[in-house]
Amino acid sequence: MKRSGNITLLCGAAAVILSSVIMLYLLKNETVMQITTGTYGSHIYRYGFDTGSLEFSLLEKIEAENASYAIKDADNIYAVSETGNDSGAYSFSLGDETAMTADKRQTGADPCFIMRYEDWILTADYSGGSVTVFPLCDGVLGDCIQRLEFQGEGPVEGRQESSHIHQLKLIPDTDWILASDLGADRIRLLRFEDGILIHKGDIVCPAGSGPRHLEFSLDGKTLYCISELSGNVLVYSTGGNENPEFTLIQHIQADEVNAGGSADIHLHPSGKYLYTSHRLDNDGIAIFKTLPDGRIEKIGYSRTGRHPRNFCISPDGSLLFVACRDDRIIQVFHIEDDGHLTLTPSVLCFEEDMPSSIYITD
């Protein structure tokens, strides 16, 4: 009996040790990501997000008016201020003790996207129908050096009366930049030459489609475009680095109710799945499977909170974060192995502002 008791104690101790080892392994392999959130309101927010506990922790709350899109690059945050003719771009330098300095530079009217390319910051100016270029010096925005304006219109009344630049996207492994022009049913091809951004040509999209956001396949051979007005995903095969060529190979309905409010698009890090967000009615995320030739097949649809303007996927591909503007929340979905989404209990609520963009850094 004594021997049996010793064996029982040893087994119990081994179980405790094994449990502790497993817990230490899990804790070690949890990841804390940084999430930068732009809003319609008065602030930009920075959060830590623990992928183990699925908990948000506030890191910074930065004053900025209608900073509808914000990104973090090294120790700097760049954001647009969507305030009509008084719109601008901000650069924030994050100090050692969370002190920040901000500079605002004039853009075209109502910028809704910002990106860094080499030593420049570029904004997509929606109402202005332009792309504004700023030089960077030690992470700080210089004065505007160029505003490239576009002309055009489309057939949808009240939505396509003029050019509306909505997003900028670098073609992988090239120095070409795409600018989606929702108002003119064009995707503009841009390139820097001797420090000047040049308009080199257009991809002509179906009339009334309203190209909004862009995404590339992992190999860069396929371009996906979510069309805000038609609710279609436009799929283009790509070719040529020096002179890019695009051929439309598929257009597939993503918005199930033709609400005219399709918004964002992202590829899963595995390249196996593509996601698009849709607003104004039956708000949610459409789920697609990618096929070997670049085409896509719709496999599901997950409802979200109201007005999912922007979303992003964690670098490991396990989680999808959705900024639901009109519900003032960020929802967190688990991405299953088959690409489908499961809503987690984790939700971030905003009292003052409406979240409009999400940007993740490790």
320 with 179, same domain?
yes
Predicted confidence at residue 56, as pLDDT, reads 98
CATH number at residue 105: 2.130.10.10
93 with 196, same domain?
yes
For the ranges 9-18, 47-56, 176-185, which has the lowest average pLDDT?
A: 9-18
Cα–Cα distances (Å) from 54 to 2, 26, 286, in that order, read: 46, 14, 23
246 with 109, same domain?
yes
pLDDT band at 26 (very low <50, low <70, confident <90, very high): very low
153 with 248, same domain?
yes
Contacts of 33 (CB under 8 A, 6+ apart): 48, 49, 51, 314, 315, 360, 361, 362
pLDDT in tens, 220-247: 999 999 999 999 999 999 988 788 999 9
Structure tokens at 334: 């688990």
Whether the model clears a pTM of 0.75, i.e. scores above it, the answer is yes
CA distance 89 to 106: 6
CA dihedral 198, 149, 217, 246 (to 10 degrees): -70
What is the total count of domains within the chain? 2
CA distance 77 to 49: 18
Predicted confidence at residue 16, as pLDDT, reads 41
Q: For the purposes of burial, counting CB atoms within 10 Å of the CB of 108, is it exposed (0-12), middle (13-18) or buried (19 or more)?
A: buried
Range of the domain at 177: 33-361
User: What is the bridge-based pairing of β-strands 232-239 and 245-253?
Assistant: antiparallel
pLDDT in tens, 55-80: 999 999 999 999 999 999 999 999 99
146 with 25, same domain?
no
CA-nearest of 342, 239, 237, 355 to 294 is: 237
Q: Kindly tell me if the per-residue pLDDT of 29 is higher than 60.
A: no
